[in-house]
Amino acid sequence: MRLSPPLLALAGLVPTLLAGSVLWLDRSGPWLLAARSAAIGAALVVVGVELLPHAVGSLGPIALGVALGGALAVAALERRSASHGGAGLGLSLAGLGLHQGLDGLQIGALAGPLGLPVLLAIGLHALPLVAVGLMISARHLGRPAALLVWSGLLLSTAAGLAVGMAIPTAKITPWVPWLQAAMSGLLLHMLLHDLVPTIQARSLRPAILGGLLLGAASVLVLLHPHRHEQRHPPPPSSPPAGPSPGGSSETAT
């Protein structure tokens, strides 16, 4: 199913729009803790199963070095920041914004000709990443600032969509693995930085671990068909048989 540009633009923004619903969860209620744990588990799977392996598959071991460099850059900024991680969080959120722009770019360039499977696969891994980023923003910066972050992520996705629909895919593809590797490091640091304090609450640890496992398992199950298609693409269909060079299928007697 080929998607028209207006439908493609709308569908590309849906995951980011849905992720923004976490900002209206009751901050004191159990739903926020469950949602954050499930989103972190899902996002860790996305980075560890999708983003980083794709980068390593294209770049080899150098992708691990790029990812490590991204994570160390955030850690160094956090140590030097007088606002207790404010600069590191800002860099991680910038990486998330870059990720959303790249997702929009890939949707704009690929989902139009390839249809819903590509759109669903990209949107599925964007949803938990954006949800975690917004919950961390709300926790450290407050809800008004998190709303601004959400708006920025929407704009970044929309800009990526516009560029992806305007620029030939061949000009974009060589840079995608490098960006995926760098973003993997930035996002992993952000996720683990939020996960460690969360699981330190012993009384809530069973619920937290349950949410992590549920989120991780859900993404693994939902991504399985897409990964199976990548590893085992359908064989190309045989072209229809044309007329013989002589113009007739019968041999002259």
Task: Output 145 or 11, whichever has higher pLDDT.
Answer: 145
Q: How confident is the model at residue 248 (pLDDT cuts 50, 70, 90)?
A: very low
Structural domain span for residue 79: 5-231
pLDDT per position as a tens digit, 183-238: 788 777 777 766 665 555 555 667 667 777 877 787 777 666 555 555 545 454 44
In a domain, 241, yes or no: no
Residue 197 to residue 194: CA distance in whole angstroms: 6
Q: List strand residue ranges (DSSP E) for the chain, in order.
A: none
In a domain, 239, yes or no: no
Number of domains composing the chain = 1
In a domain, 238, yes or no: no
Residue 62, pLDDT > 90, answer: yes
pLDDT number for residue 98: 83
Residue 143, pLDDT > 70, answer: yes
The 3-state secondary structure of 57-101 reads HHHCCHHHHHHHHHHHHHHHHHHHCCCCCHHHHHHHHHHHHHHHH
Share above pLDDT 90 across residues of the chain, in percent, rounded to a whole number: 6
Nearest alpha-carbon partner for 210 in 199, 197, 196, 222: 199
Report field, pTM of the whole predicted structure over 0.85:
no
